[in-house]
Structures are given as structure tokens and as C-alpha cells.
Structure 1
């Protein structure tokens, strides 16, 4: 079966018109998770606001399922207190 992987980068959808042949939904899910981890490497902020990435998997025009990753940085002592950073750093 031919699956299509549309990508939402938090702002815009990019429609996949090429697709990938997979034997079943499990194989398509693996491909979607793999694509999502590659996107995360490129698009997740090192600091700053939250970011949501989604891969929507389609069979022709019917949505089969979606895989979503939400990234959020919560501020706390580890990000603002240098003594916490120094204690947690294995080089110290």
C-alpha cells in the first residue's frame, strides 16, 4: 500500500504527493516516527517557546493516523541557577 506523510512544522502543512510503499500500518507508523525524529533534530528550538510537530499519514486522501511530538521547556532552577548547573555537570 502507498502511504503519504504530510508534515506540520508548527506553522504550515506540507503535503506529501510522492508517498512510500509499506506493507501495513505498522511499517507506515515506523516511517512516520523516523521522519518525526529527523524533523525534531532540525526544527526543535534549543530554548524558547514550545513547538509541536505532526506527521499525518494518509492512504490516498483518507487519514490513517497521526504521530505528534510536543516540545516545551519549563523554566526552573536548572535553567537559571548556576549552582544547580555546576552540580549537575559531570565535568565538575
Structure 2
């Protein structure tokens, strides 16, 4: 089956018009998880507190499922007091 992987980079959706052949939903889920981890390597903020990434997996126009990653950081002494790093 041909699956399409639309990507949300935190601001915009990019529609996949090419797709990838996968044997079933399980194979497509595996591909989506691999893809979102690659996106995280590229797009997670180095100096920001949060980012949301998502992949919407479609069969033609029907959404089969989605994979979502939410990255958040919170304030703590290591971010505000440099003596903690010593």
C-alpha cells in the first residue's frame, strides 16, 4: 500500500505527494517514527523552550494515524545559575 507522510514542523504542514510503499500500517508507523526522530535531530530548538512536531500518515486522502512529538524544557537552577554547572 502507498502511504503519504505529511509533516508538521511546528509552524506549517508540508504535504507529501510522493508517498512510500509499506506492507501495512505497522510498517508505515515504523517509517513515521524513524522520520520524526530525524526531524527532531534537525528541528528541536537549541535555545528555545518548546517545539511540536507531527507526521500525519495518509492512505490517499484518508488519515490512517499520526505520530506526534512534543519537546519542552522548564526553568531550573542549571539554566539560571552557572555555579550549578561547576
Tell whether the structures are fold-level matches, with TM greater than 0.5.
yes
Matched-pair contact (CA < 8 Å) for 2:5–2:32 = yes
Equivalent position SS for 1:11? coil
Q: Per residue, is there more strand in 1 or in 2?
A: 2
Equivalents in 2 of 1:67, 1:80: separation in Å?
A: 33
Q: Which runs of 5+ in 2 are unaligned?
A: none
1:68 pairs with 2:68: yes
The count of corresponding residues between Structure 1 and Structure 2 is 86
The residue aligned with 1:33 is 33
CA shift, 1:60, in A, is 0.6
TM-score (structure 1 length as normaliser): 0.88
Larger Cα-atom Rg: 1
Equivalents in 1 of 2:37, 2:85: separation in Å?
A: 27
Q: Which runs of 5+ in 1 are unaligned?
A: 87-92
CA shift, 1:78, in A, is 1.9
Where in structure 1 do 4 or more consecutive aligned residues deviate above 4 Å? none
The residue aligned with 2:23 is 23
Matched-pair contact (CA < 8 Å) for 1:4–1:16 = yes
TM-score (structure 2 length as normaliser): 0.94
| Alignment RMSD (CA, Å) | 0.9
The residue aligned with 2:4 is 4
